[in-house]
Each structure stands twice: as structure tokens, then as C-alpha cells.
A and B are shown apart, each in its own frame.
Chain A
Amino acid sequence: MTLNIEALSTRAITTGDIEGKGPRRRDGHKKPVITGILLGILCVLWMTPFVWMALSVTKPTDIAFANPPVYWDYEPTLKAFVDLWETTYFSEYLVNTLVVAVISTILALIIGIPAAYALSRFPSYVSAILLVLALVFRALPRFAVVLPMYDISRALGIYDTTFALALALVAINQPFTIWLLRNFFAEIPRELDEAAMIDGCTRIGMLRRVMIPLMGPGILTAGIFVFLFAFQEYLTALVLTDTSSKTVPVFIATQLGQTLPMLQQAGAASILLTIPVILIAFIAQKYLVAGLSDGAVKG
């Protein structure tokens, strides 16, 4: 089982025709009807959990979790959302989640871009070893670094702060960040660096003026992924936060197994988290696909 890096670098999962163009394509006019129907069924199956959840949270609380379920005979209501906003600290948790995600994205890119560039331009055993280490750290069981972080953050007095959580996530996702960015940098021809340097740019000036503009899509891709990872993170937030920097996934988990209204609020919170994610899946699809097929390592 060896990995062919080249095969993964085909970043071109385009939305267009890929079976070949023009006369080469023999069944060019045949529409894949059966395939379309099967994939349509798959899509419906994939959406079912969300649809059911969205229905459950827009029902009045007394019938939301009734057995047998009430399918359509009810007045839709947004009460669960209002309650979520008014009776819990959801807005604070949402702010915490966003602050953590934004801080960790910015920090991860600031330190990750130069590192990834250096790795892509320094082809020696040093950079191969560092890449392997990045991969190993990417694969570690989360608790192996998070439990000591808990101990250390308590000793330093930064336990339960958004900054500590953001910093932890920067480190945890750094291997993925530099691995992904490095793959993008590797595709920019080296001659460009040399040309800029001959024209009098310093290495860092060249990185800033030539590479970063060229890397726009790559940086956006890495940024979206680091943001999503921070947004999704449950385990790390569970261990490193308590009350003042709690994030939404941790909040949702604590609402489970409580009263039905609280459960419905957890559902409402879940739906609120799902909406931006759906937007990302459609609007930023190009970058998600590029990141998955190029970096291909979820953190």
C-alpha cells in the first residue's frame, strides 16, 4: 500500500465533463438516467436525519417527541429557537465558537504559510522527515495531547479561555495546514521564486508579493478547512473549556439526556449550526473538493 502523491494532486475534480472531450467520448449523448436516480435516492437518504430534526424542532414541544410521531398535523413554531436564545447562554457559546474558529484560522495561516512554503522549496531529507512527523501528529489519538494540555493550561492559569482553546486547535491542526499548503506551493514553479529574487526581492518580500497572491485559492482552501475543524471540534473543547469559553458542540452534548424542551433546544442549536455548513458545502464547494483531494487529511 503505497501512496502515489501524484494521483492525489489531481486537484481537478471539475464540475464539468471529465470522461474525455469531443469525439473520444463514445456515449456522449446518452444521459445516465439510472445513475441519476440512484444518486438521487442516496441524496434523499443523506438528508433524512436533518429533515427529521428540522421538523422536530419546529413542532410545539409537547408533540415534538411524541410516539407515534406527528407528521403534519401541527402548527409550525419557532419557539424552540426563541427559547434557545432567551433561556440559555447559546449566544455566548456561539460567539465563543466563532472567536475560537477565527483566531485559530488566522494564527494557523500566519505560521503555516511560511512553514509550508519552506517545506515545498527545501527538498531534502529534513523536509521529508518533518512531513512524516506532521503526518504522525495528524494521526495521534487526540487525548494523548489534549489531556496534558488540560494539565498544563491549569498550571498556567489559562484553562477555560477562548485563547487557550484556539491555540490548542492551531497546534492540533498545524500538521494538516502545512501539509495542505505545501501541496499547493509545490505546484508553483520554482523559476518564479528565482525570477523575483533576481529582480531584487528578499525571500520574505517575494513570499509576500509573489507567492501569497498566487496562492489565493490555496490559502482560502486551507483557511476554510482550519475554520471548519475549529467549528466542529468537540473533544478538545470538552476537555479545555468549562463555563466561560464553552463552545456550541459541547453545549449540545450537555443538553442531551436533560428535559424534552432542552433536548429540543439542542436540536434547534444543531439546525443553526447546520445552516452555515450547508452554505459552505455549496458556495465553497470548489475549495472543499480541492482541499480534500489535495490535502486529503482530515484533522
Chain B
Amino acid sequence: MKAREFWLLFAPSFVVMSGLLVVPLIRTIQWSFEEVHYGTPGTFVGLDNFVHALTDARFGEAALFTIVVTVITTTILLVLGYIVATGMNRLTLSRPLVLGILLVSYVLPNLVGAVAFSWLVDDNFGGILNRFIGLMGGSQVLWFTDQVPNAILIIANTVWHMLPFAMLIILAGLQGVPVELREAATIDGASPLQTHLHVIIPTIRGVLGFVTLISIMDVLRMFDNLIPLSPQAATIGNESIMLYVYSVAFADGAEQLGLGSAINVLTIILILIMLIPFMRGIFKEAKVAR
């Protein structure tokens, strides 16, 4: 294909992406160095916003909470995703049914799933999970006002939402593992656990890396599900970075657009660093295809 044809075909998409993604992004970077309100030009304040963000205890708390939840959720997703995918790999006839049921939680708006989740544990609404814990002899859990139970609730909801995705990607990877490889391991006397740890997992590590990356990216910017699940997020210390940006830069009366933008820029830098290995993969592929 000639370069001229390429650009002709790519132009519409390019125009839309530059106009509606690149231009706003540049505006965000510009705002991060300014003291600014909606609809008015800002004044340059240098690195003040970044200093403010990095010295703000509330931001520190939000960043810590977001990172802890991200690490725990990603770990659970990988382990549980692998186990469920291995199980799914054995199913034949019932697979479409099981897949269909599991996929619903992924395809549904995150917010709606979180509302349904919150009803399970809200004592005011006769939360059945609390009744169940009570039956098992447990004491009352303050799901919405106690930091750790609330974090567990958020992690459970995120796992519920994202497990189908992790499982499907890992399942795709498992199907690429040659049957001969497993048989060879069995003949060599490997136990099933050893086969998983030393044969299958190393074979699909690319896929596992990919699930890790997407999971980290998506959990780092969690926002929707916290609205119903953590109404008092800021007071109990369970605010996510995005919720913090929202509350300083957009919620009613909040106009610290510069500060919000600075946090966005910091998040972007973090994400870019994580993307480096993935970018190298794409460039390698381009080199091979040449």
C-alpha cells in the first residue's frame, strides 16, 4: 500500500482522534500548570498543582488505597481466572451456558452491578449477606462505614465484574497449549500441580502478562462502582484516584481544575511506565512483519 492511500484511509479516524483526544489531552497538560476555572483562561502557576497534589494527605490516601486495591484485585483475578479457565477448558456441552451466565456481570454497566451488590450487604435494605453471616455466627459487619470491610466489598465487586474477562483471555491462552506438551509432562512423571506450574503457566505467560496489564489499567481508574459501594469514600479513606479528581475538579462547586489535571497527568505518567513492555511487543511484531 502506498503512503498516500494509507493516509487517505486513516484520515477520518486520525482527525477524530486528534480533535477529540489529543486536543483535550493537551488542554489537561496545560491546565496542570495553571490555576483555572471552567470557561475562563487560567493563570500560570508553575508546579504548584503538582506540589499541592503530592503533599496533600487526602491524595496520598487515595493513591495508596487505589494501588492496594489494584494489586489485590489483579492477583485474585489472575489466580481465580486461571483456575476457572482450567475448569472451563474441561467443559464441552455446557460451556456456552456457563459462559453466558458469567459474561452478564462483565457486559452490564459497572454502576448497575455495583448497585445490585450494595443491596446484598445494606442492612437498611435487609441485606441477605449480612443475614447469612449472622446465621454462621459472625458479628455485624459495617460494610459502608468501616474501611477494611468496605475495601473488601469493592474488591469483591471488581472481581465479580472483571473475572469473566480474565477467564476468557486465559482460556484463549490455554487452548494454544499443545496437547503433546501436557502429555510429555505426564509421561515424565509430573504431578498435575507440577504440570500447571512448570509447563502450562510458563507457556501462556504472555497471555497472563496481558491480563495483568489490562487489569491494572482498569482497576487503577475505578470510579463507577465506588458511587454506590462507597458513599462515604473520602471520610473512611476509601477514595480512588479518579474519585478524588472528580471531587476536586467537577463535583458541585469544585473548581480546582488545575489540581485535578495535575493528578491526571501523574496518573498518565504511571500508566505510560507500565505500558513500556507492551509497546516493545508491538514494535517487535512490526519489525518481524516487515
Contacts and interface: CB of A to CB of B under 8 A. Distances in A.
Contact of A115 (B9, B28, B113, B289): B9
Contact of A147 (B112, B260, B290): B260
Interface in A132-147: 132, 134-137, 139-147
B112 A252 contact: yes
A49 B116 contact: yes
B192 interface: no
Contact of B6 (A5, A118, A141, A252): A118
A110 to B, nearest CB: 8
Interface string A227-246: 01001111100010000000
A266 to B, nearest CB: 7
A209 interface: no
Interface in A110-137: 110-112, 114-115, 117-119, 121-128, 130-132, 134-137
A18 interface: yes
Nearest to B15: A111
A53 to B, nearest CB: 4
A1 B212 contact: yes
A39 B131 contact: no
Given A3-B278, A50-B104, A150-B38, A39 B28 contact: no
Interface string A87-129: 0000000000000000000000011101101110111111110
Given A68-B131, A296-B214, A114 B10 contact: yes
Interface string B81-112: 00010011111101110111111110111111
Interface stretch (B56-64, B67-75, B193-201, B218-226): B218-226
Contacts of B6: 118, 121-122, 126-127
A131 B282 contact: yes
A7 to B, nearest CB: 5
B245 A143 contact: yes
Contacts of B89: 18-19
A38 interface: yes
A36 B98 CA distance: 10
Interface stretch (A78-86, A214-222, A276-284): A276-284
Given A13-B172, A147-B250, A267-B119, A234 B113 contact: no
Contact of A111 (B12, B39, B99): B12
B99 A285 contact: yes
Nearest to A292: B168
Interface in B251-278: 257, 260-261, 264-265, 267-268, 271-272, 275, 277-278
A174 interface: yes
Given A143-B242, A267-B115, A253 B228 contact: yes
B98 A39 contact: yes
Interface in A162-176: 167-168, 170-172, 174-175
Taking residues whose C-beta sits less than 8 angstroms from the other chain, chain B's interface range is 35 or more
A201 interface: no
A42 B84 contact: yes
A12 interface: yes
Interface string A1-36: 111110110111101111110001100000010011
Most chain B CB within 10 A, of A32, A144, A146, is at A144
A78 B96 CA distance: 31
A148 B108 CA distance: 27
A132 B27 contact: no
A36 B248 CA distance: 48
Nearest to A21: B179
A56 interface: yes
A147 B261 contact: yes
Given A56-B119, A285-B99, A151 B25 contact: no
Contacts of B128: 52, 69
A39 B88 contact: yes
B17 A128 contact: no
A161 interface: no
Nearest to A228: B107
A274 B231 CA distance: 23
B172 A65 contact: no
A152 B207 CA distance: 39
Contacts of A258: none
A15 B96 contact: yes
28 contacts: A3-B210, A7-B176, A25-B179, A39-B91, A39-B98, A49-B113, A49-B116, A53-B116, A65-B126, A124-B286, A124-B290, A141-B241, A143-B242, A144-B24, A171-B17, A175-B21, A207-B9, A232-B108, A234-B111, A234-B223, A252-B115, A273-B112, A274-B104, A277-B108, A278-B104, A280-B107, A293-B172, A298-B218
Counting from the closest, the 7 A-B pairs by CB-CB distance are A69-B126, A171-B20, A4-B206, A115-B13, A128-B286, A148-B24, A49-B116
